[in-house]
Amino acid sequence: MRDRAKIIVNNREVGKRYLGSRLVWEAEPALRLIFQKDNVTINPFFVSYLLEVGNNNIPENSVTHIQINNKEIFKLKTEKLIKPPQAPTMLMLSDNEVGLYKYFETASWYNNGNGKKVVSLKLYTST
C-alpha cells in the first residue's frame, strides 16, 4: 500500500481506496502513547519475550503498537501483551507475532536467542 496521510474527495476524507476489488490504501488509526520508559530490558524467554517495565498501570490488553528506541512503530497483528500474575512488573509477548524477533533483533530463548537487550520502550493504543 502507498504511504499517504489522507485522501480528500469532494471535501470529504476517504478511509479506504480500492483499485477494482484490490485495497490499495487505508487510513491508519490515530495512535495514543500510553507508556514510555527508558532502560527497559527485553529478555528472550522460551517462546516469548519478557519486558521488564517495573510497577505500572499499563492497560496491557489495549496495546496495539510498540516502539523500541527510535525504530519505526511495530503493529501487533495477532498477539497481545500479557501481564503474568507471578511477575507483575513484567509484560510478556509471544514470539508468534510475525516479524517480532527481527524487530527486537533477538530471537527467543527457544530459538537460540542472543540474551537480554536494554531499550527505550513506548506502547501505543489505537484511538
Q: Enumerate the H helices of the chain as residue ranges.
A: 100-104
Check residue 111 and give its pLDDT: 67
> Could you count the other beta carbons within 10 Å of the beta carbon of residue 120?
14
Q: Rounded to 5 degrees, what are φ and ψ at 48?
A: -155, 180
Per residue in 17-54, pLDDT (tens digit) is: 788 888 777 776 778 999 999 999 888 888 888 899 99
Cell readout for 94 is 509471544
What is the number of structural domains in the chain? 1
Q: Is residue 15 part of a domain?
A: no
Per residue in 58-100, pLDDT (tens digit) is: 888 899 999 999 899 999 999 999 998 888 899 999 989 999 8
* pTM for the predicted model, two decimal places: 0.74
Q: Is residue 21 part of a domain?
A: no
Q: Is residue 2 part of a domain?
A: no
Full residue range of the structural domain in which residue 40 is found: 31-126
For the cut 50, the answer to whether the pLDDT of residue 119 exceeds it is: yes
